[in-house]
Structure 1
């Protein structure tokens, strides 16, 4: 057999692409049929979101670990995010409420990358307005900046009530320096204890005597995401801790001279999956 006989023609390769495209479409339709059966089994018409952050984080990590080839990871991640978010919407329609205080382009890019164009995008000016909208909804999601925005108040205190919305995810699931929607954001929803992932827990903390010493002490055991001064009973902190136990943070606060007024869990999320580039310029976990 000659080399010419072994080499596929352009027509052959294009036929292969058409076959793969058709197979992908049929698999998506098959997935939708399974989702329809899933809805019938679950009969999930109760208040709450169909968003399942633990499962989604696991799926995205597996996606990164198995990916290789010329197709950019950004494209693959975006496709899967749209598939996941759209089928979640099919199960229980929801809107995405977003705080635009960090700028509309950044927040809109984040919402569209992670939730696609099917779920309605509802803009708000201020994090508390987002929390209020989610609280008043049946199963909507809220996107809030995962860092302090200059001039904003301690919005996370609105998550303190037992039935108040809670942080259920931090996006992006996969963090990298060149991420096209790399703005760190929290996703809040009605409490979903049955589907929550608790690799990282977040706490609303109120302290008196907050100081540089206290900040340095806490930083060795947790991430202080935001500090709002001038609260009625002292500084208000949003603190992120690995696992679910915040006792060590409370201990170091007291040892540093601060007085802990309250230490209330306001949600949890999957630990970020981080990777960078190796010496050959290839993405590595």
Structure 2
């Protein structure tokens, strides 16, 4: 889907630290190689390492647009033993083998599946962060009508917490970050489309039933939750200036792009202009067009999906 849009968009910011390169990723991932890096070889070792995760879409011939999406994963130290474990989000949990999966790192590129991995509903993405400041990494999962916060017990066990971040609709990416500079982690959730699987239109091309594309749906406003420090969050999306429903967001990354000491946000939108939110004392100003990162080099929108950031200089 969107084969003509499966390409990289490079977005450059210059500041005293050098050049930050945003990599907005479409459906395919490409390895950029040069010099000695070109000689590197990668071998598929998932099965040999004990990882048997398979993503399930739940497709049953009903052509639900939801089924066209993949899902996210997190690489983090879930059990506090110093190595990185793997967590995979799945789609249709009602389908056999459709559960989310947590793999414990046993060392030596070997992983063991942990029974009862957290996850409900039709999953899309996830993020990790120590929201309760107890020294371990907690987990937040997003999806269609099912956003859930899981508190880590410090040993890799996760318990669902009702903290006011359930949201609703179709959520995709998310990030924990300190929006207001008070020392705890707030939560930004990217929402994709205003969508109801029960009422979506029937779409055809040359008389043949097919999946609709994003143009058939309105965008959904994103969410910003302020951490109150007592285990609960408050929705401050409107007062913080991020409740813009014109975007069709799938990915988000937090960073200090302007070097002023606070954390800003970049949102990758699908077929609509990308957002760059500059943090101004806990309130956010959208400056994507001004900064030159809302469109591609030809001034067009693209299928922004995943997004990452790094200092390459």
Q: TM-score normalised to the size of structure 2?
A: 0.25
More strand by share: 2
From the CA coordinates, give the structure whose radius of gyration is larger. Answer: 1
Q: TM-score normalised to the size of structure 1?
A: 0.27
More helix by share: 1
